Structure 1
Amino acid sequence: MRKQFLYLFLILAVAQTMKAQTRGTKLGYIDMEYILQNVPNYTEAKVQLEQKAQKWKLEIETKKIEINKLKDALKAEKALLTKELISERETEISFLENENLDYQQKRFGPNGDLILQKSILVKPIQDQIFTAVQDIAEAKKYDFIFDKASDLTMLFAAKRFDISEQVLRVLNRTEKREQLTKKQLQEEEARESKEDALDENPTLADRQKILNDKKIARDKLLEDRKLLQEQRKKEFNDKRKQIIADREAKKTGTVSANVKTIDTVTAPSVSDLKKEKAKETVELAKQKQADARTKTLEDRKKVIEDRRKALEERRKKILEDREALKKAKEEKIKENTNNN
């Protein structure tokens, strides 16, 4: 019995090793600079820091201008001054120059205020990014994740391994969840699971992109049609008002012979109004057909999504049942081993 248990253990170990080798190493990378540029808090704080830096630069330049003025004044008056006064002024200028250099180092040096405040600004956001990267790596079984913006030389990196957008979504989700109600939170979680599924399946992501592009084009077409209908309706109403106004003027007798002639010419335009109305009816019918087609596509999409969810739940149930069966077998084997 012990030999059988040993053989079973060896078989399981070999199977796990083969599975790990078959799966291969899963790599990914992020672009830290891109992520930081798209984090609103970092962008706002960076703008404020740049404003401070500009103010410090202006102070340094102002002091330099003042020192240059003192130098020019000394050069102009040097012939009239004694050696003691010249030495005194040179010492003053040298002191001001050193003071300005010290101020420049204090603000922009390797350990200056600018570098220090940048590190204070980036540190909490970097911690959030590292946490998000760890969560993604554990959830999606990544073996290595690199930073494209670091000193690590990346001669080539395929776009499909870039998980920067996923990290940004995790950061934005954390911020949004604090402001959502329970119902909104459930809707957000459903949308997040859909986005994660698209990340895992590039083919599905491409298909979703095509559907989104088609939807945008369809919405634009409907919007253009709507604008055209409104324009035609406005022209129709303007023409109708003009005809009514001309008729009223004719009744009151304020229309001259020339206007009467024009009225007789424009009178037959009632048929044109009928044509416009018929055309508008056709356009409305087309609009309804387009809306019905859009609704049908959305219903189909919903059915496909429901089926996918059902299949996913069924697959999870099967895996859970298998896991439970496997645990039961292991416990039975242990029990038999202990009995022997």
Structure 2
Amino acid sequence: MKKIFTVLVLLFTATNFWSQRSQIIAYIDMEYILENVPEYMQAQNTLDTKIAKWKNNLDKQERHIEVLKSDLANEKAILTKDLIEEKEEEIEIKQVELRRLESLYFGPNGNMFLVRKQLVKPIQDQVYNAIQSIAARKKYDFVFDKSSELVMLYSNKKYDISELVLSSIDRTRLSEEKKEKINKRSEIPTEDLTERQKDLIEIREEAKDKKVEAIEKRVEENKAKKVAIAEKRADLIKKREEQRKILREKKKRLEKERRGKKENN
């Protein structure tokens, strides 16, 4: 109903404009255009792979939480109050971590948004720039997207400028590739460089190496931190197991003492 209302409003507006002067209208099929831009399909495949990986991580965390809940429900009758609270706290921590990961991956400013912005948006911008350029050159008053939510009750193929947009994108790509080739050809051979130019190149290479070293150092530091956290967690688990063992032994001893008292009585 909402779509029909939108179409009626647009038709009414177009009719209003038509009474003043002739309007030139065109349309594009955005899905068709993007499917025929190789860079977009590569970017979309990369994004889909990352999304599948993130969803898999969340599924693993969720299954682990369900296992912890099930184990607690089965063991609750034989656990002490402290151990029950400890397990409940562990489950709560895992649930908070799961929500944090969900937000990190799929939140408003999460990884999916950032990766899409990095990979897909530049290509979409390229398409929109091509549309605007063609619309300005051909003097179109309106350019509609056939694949959007707007319902097109009829569309004449001669007003479809999708192929024109693709041709414009191809020309831009070829122009950029040509410039890149010219720049490569215009590079000065190493033997023709002056000593000062060679020194500058060497300084830049050293700066790059230092930057790489700094990044590698940060990676190693992060690895060391992760190892330290893992060791700390292992120690905590070991201590918990020891406490549980002590509690079990204490429980057995108390049970044995109670049975001994009953036999004496």
Instruction: Determine which of 154, 161, 164 is the counterpart of 2:162.
Output: 164
Amino acid at match of 1:132: A
Amino acid at match of 1:78: K
Q: Does 1:92 align with 2:111?
A: no
Q: CA deviation at 1:24?
A: 2.4
| Distance in 2 between residues matched to 1:33 and 1:79, nearest whole Å | 58
Aligned to 2:8: none
Percentage of matched positions with identical amino acids: 47
Structure 2 length as normaliser, TM-score? 0.55
Q: CA deviation at 1:126?
A: 2.5
Q: Is the deviation greater in 36-45 or in 171-180?
A: 171-180
Amino acid at match of 1:113: N
Aligned to 1:135: 133
Counterpart mapping for 1:175-194 below 5 A: 175-179=173-177
- Determine helix, strand or coil for the equivalent of 1:145: strand
| Distance in 1 between residues matched to 2:120 and 2:176, nearest whole Å | 22
The structure that has the greater radius of gyration is: 1
Q: Provide Cα deviations, 1:271-292, integer angstroms capped at 9, x if missing partner.
A: xxxxxxxxxxxxxxxxxxxxxx
| Distance in 1 between residues matched to 2:119 and 2:178, nearest whole Å | 27
Instruction: Determine which of 31, 34, 38 is the counterpart of 1:33.
Output: 31
Aligned to 1:116: 114
Aligned to 2:146: 148
Amino acid at match of 1:42: Y
| Distance in 2 between residues matched to 1:155 and 1:57, nearest whole Å | 38
| Distance in 1 between residues matched to 2:19 and 2:171, nearest whole Å | 35
Q: 1:160 to 1:88 in 2, by over 3 A?
A: same
Q: Is the deviation greater in 141-150 or in 46-55?
A: 141-150
Counterpart mapping for 1:218-257 below 5 A: none
Q: CA deviation at 1:22?
A: 11
| Distance in 1 between residues matched to 2:172 and 2:92, nearest whole Å | 55
Which residues of structure 1 form unaligned runs of 5+? 1-19, 182-340
Q: Does 1:69 align with 2:67?
A: yes
Q: Provide Cα deviations, 1:228-287, integer angstroms capped at 9, x if missing partner.
A: xxxxxxxxxxxxxxxxxxxxxxxxxxxxxxxxxxxxxxxxxxxxxxxxxxxxxxxxxxxx
Instruction: Determine which of 32, 53, 56 is the counterpart of 1:55.
Output: 53
Q: Does 1:42 align with 2:45?
A: no
Q: CA deviation at 1:81?
A: 0.4
Tell me which of the two structures has the higher relative contact order, counting C-alpha pairs closer than 8 angstroms and 6 or more residues apart: 2
Q: 1:38 to 1:59 in 2, by over 3 A?
A: same
| Distance in 2 between residues matched to 1:150 and 1:93, nearest whole Å | 44
Q: CA deviation at 1:180?
A: 5.6
What number of residue pairs does the alignment pair up?
162
Q: Provide Cα deviations, 1:79-119, integer angstroms capped at 9, x if missing partner.
A: 11011211111111111012112211221233322123223
Q: 1:179 to 1:101 in 2, by over 3 A?
A: closer
Q: 1:112 to 1:178 in 2, by over 3 A?
A: closer
Q: Provide Cα deviations, 1:193-213, integer angstroms capped at 9, x if missing partner.
A: xxxxxxxxxxxxxxxxxxxxx
Q: Provide Cα deviations, 1:44-94, integer angstroms capped at 9, x if missing partner.
A: 111111111111111111111221221222122111101121111111111
- Determine helix, strand or coil for the equivalent of 2:140: coil
- Determine helix, strand or coil for the equivalent of 2:26: strand
Which residues of structure 2 form unaligned runs of 5+? 1-17, 180-265
Q: 1:23 to 1:180 in 2, by over 3 A?
A: farther
| Distance in 2 between residues matched to 1:113 and 1:167, nearest whole Å | 30
Q: CA deviation at 1:42?
A: 1.2
Counterpart mapping for 1:289-308 below 5 A: none
Amino acid at match of 2:76: K
